[in-house]
Amino acid sequence: MLGKLASCLFVGVWAIGLFPRHVFCDQRPATKWVIPVSLSLITLGKTIWVLGIIAWYFVRRPAARRAKRNAVVNNRRSARDGLGLVAAIIGLAVVPGIYVFSGFPARFDYPLAGWALALGTIVYAAAIWIFRRTHKELGRNWSISLEIREEHKLISTGPYSVIRHPMYTSFLLMALGQACLLANWFVGVAGLIGFAFLFFLRVQREEKMMIEFFGPQYRDYMDKTKRIIPYIY
């Protein structure tokens, strides 16, 4: 669902012209084109965000297809689980997508600094990298909700060697990167709130499910790792 939305946002942004003429040139006749620094940084930030969403989609789509090959044997889906997913979609895709597409709500805009653009690019790239590594390690074990699949294994390699929920780590980094790339207070806060809903509504229930399925093996794994921030939390 989020992947399809990301694709629509990408097409829409470019269809209306993410790079309008007034951003790149002075409209007065007989003058040279100029690139206002603040506007060019804002446009670049939006472009990087769109490219990040597209990268996210191309990581998630094949992973979802692979996972379907293993049947679900234990399903813990709930309204609470769905609420977290919807909040994440709204905060990390819908709200920023509307902003990139239309500029709404412009009243919360602020000038984008070069350091924020650079930091946001690095953080968002790290989010996509962790997202990809997480899917690679999970393989067919992955599910979009709280599910156990056939031949489910406890993964403790790659990012899972230091944190138990690197997928949530990638979403946290996406929210932080979004706050840096898109110079709008409302959009920045929306991403963080969306992540918070997803994480806090699911993580305890997810760990409870893993303990019930893997038993002492998962408890030992919990003793050796943190949740989403290596060596901290």
pLDDT in tens, 141-189: 888 878 888 778 999 999 999 999 999 999 999 999 999 999 999 999 9
The confidence score (pLDDT) of residue 159 equals 97
More confident residue, 174 or 12: 174
Query: Domain extents for the chain?
Result: 2-224
3-class SS string, the chain: CHHHHHHHHHHHHHHHCCCCHHHHCCCCCCCCCCCCHHHHHHHHHHHHHHHHHHHHHHHHHHHHHHHCCCCEEEECCCHHHHHHHHHHHHHHHHHHHHHHHHCCCHHHECCCCHHHHHHHHHHHHHHHHHHHHHHHHHHHHCCCCCEEECCCCCCCCHHHHCECCHHHHHHHHHHHHHHHHCCEHHHHHHHHHHHHHHHHHHHHHHHHHHHHHHCHHHHHHHHHCECCCCCCC
What pLDDT was estimated at residue 39?
66
Spell out a b/e string for 26-64, using b for 16 or more CB atoms within 10 Å of the CB, else e: eeeeeeeeeeeeeebbbbbbbbbbbebbbbbbebbeebe
Q: Give pLDDT tens digits for 27-57.
A: 334 444 444 565 699 999 999 999 999 999 9
Condensed to tens digits (0 to 9), the pLDDT of residues 189-229 reads 999 999 999 999 999 999 999 999 999 999 999 999 999 99
pLDDT per position as a tens digit, 50-103 = 999 999 999 998 888 877 777 777 777 788 889 999 999 999 999 999 999 999
Residue of 11, 38, 183, 176 lying closest to 103 (CA atoms) = 183
* pLDDT surpasses 70 at 23: no
The CATH code belonging to domain 2-224 is 1.20.120.1630
pLDDT of residue 71: 73
